[in-house]
Amino acid sequence: MGKIIAVHSYKGGTGKTLLSVNLAATFAKLGKKVCLFDLDFRAPSLFAILKIPTAENWLNDYLNNTCDINKVLIDISSRIPGKGSLFVGLANPSTEAIRDMSAKDRKWEMRALGRLLHLRNALLNDQHFDYIVMDTSPGLQYSSINAIVAADLVAVATTGDRSDVDGTSRMLKELYNLFEKKTGIVLNKVLDSTAKSRRDELYDRVKNVYKVPLLGMVPCFCEVLRAEGNFIFSQDKPDHPFSALLTEMAKKIDANEVK
């Protein structure tokens, strides 16, 4: 049975999209059948990262109940080496669509949750997908919380920023915990990650402040910043340490090590 992973964070700019794309690509490289969804309807970005400027149907249409999920999926498996497959579902980046998604009422959001929950049957059970990776908006947005409720595992990207640490620990207690979600922390943009004292300090924070398993500790790589979103590291730079960290993270999730 496949898994749904929601990639979330308290603040913006923590690396959710980078993590989502590379995690999905890594799973595909490991031979899995994977689906990557852009659920950040306020600031869609997967279309740009993956260089797919337009789509016939968007995830917006699926959530609006105007099309089937298979009409939304775009097969980009040819970009991934090996036997795995990678599909994406994009959020509509037009200003009109962003405005439309921001103005939805509670009833629509309730139905959108039903449509997301339905993906478990439609994709995991019927079409035997191994993973659905959902990239979300930061903070307490409807679309993000819907994704969290639908997910089996929440990967929370966080940096060392004081406000991020505070917000993330509050979300762990008051959001993921209330929904009884398995949660794993990804410490991103870590400075001085090779120093033992620094690593110990961060392990200590995960253990005593976040109190959830650590999925991975990702150093602040200048190459990642320099790439300006033009590479999928796990695919274009397979030998880079960032790709190795992602592989380690994917294997940890696949082995069900996040309890």
Residues that bind other proteins (CB under 8 A): 65, 67-68, 106-107, 109-111, 113-115, 117-118, 142, 145-146, 148-149, 175, 178-180
> Between residues 31 and 114, which has the closer beta carbon with respect to other proteins?
114
Considering only CA atoms, which of 155, 211, 153 is closest in space to residue 181? 153
> Between residues 85 and 146, which has the closer beta carbon with respect to other proteins?
146
Considering only CA atoms, which of 140, 163, 147 is closest in space to residue 14? 163
How far is it, in rounded angstroms, from Cα 83 to Cα 92? Answer: 29
CB of residue 170 to other proteins, shortest distance in Å: 13
CB of residue 218 to other proteins, shortest distance in Å: 29
> Between residues 127 and 193, which has the closer beta carbon with respect to other proteins?
127
Residue linked to tokens 């997910």: 151
> Between residues 48 and 110, which has the closer beta carbon with respect to other proteins?
110
CB of residue 163 to other proteins, shortest distance in Å: 22
> Between residues 61 and 164, which has the closer beta carbon with respect to other proteins?
61
How far is it, in rounded angstroms, from Cα 250 to Cα 119? Answer: 21
- Extract the tokens encoding 228: 């300006």
- Distance between alpha carbon 49 and the CA centroid of its chain, in Å? 14
Q: Exposed (0-12), middle (13-18) or buried (19+): which is 105, by Cβ within 10 Å?
A: exposed
- Extract the tokens encoding 249: 């993270």
Contact 122, 129 (CB under 8 A): no
CB of residue 65 to other proteins, shortest distance in Å: 6
DSSP H helix total and E strand total for the chain: 12, 8
CB of residue 11 to other proteins, shortest distance in Å: 20
**DSSP letter, residue 185:** E
* CB neighbour list of residue 53: distance below 8 Å, 6 or more residues apart: 47
CB of residue 238 to other proteins, shortest distance in Å: 38
Local structure of 138: helix, strand or coil = coil
* CB neighbour list of residue 222: distance below 8 Å, 6 or more residues apart: none
CB of residue 6 to other proteins, shortest distance in Å: 12
> Between residues 47 and 142, which has the closer beta carbon with respect to other proteins?
142
> Between residues 179 and 203, which has the closer beta carbon with respect to other proteins?
179
Strand 131-136 and strand 33-39: pairing?
A: parallel
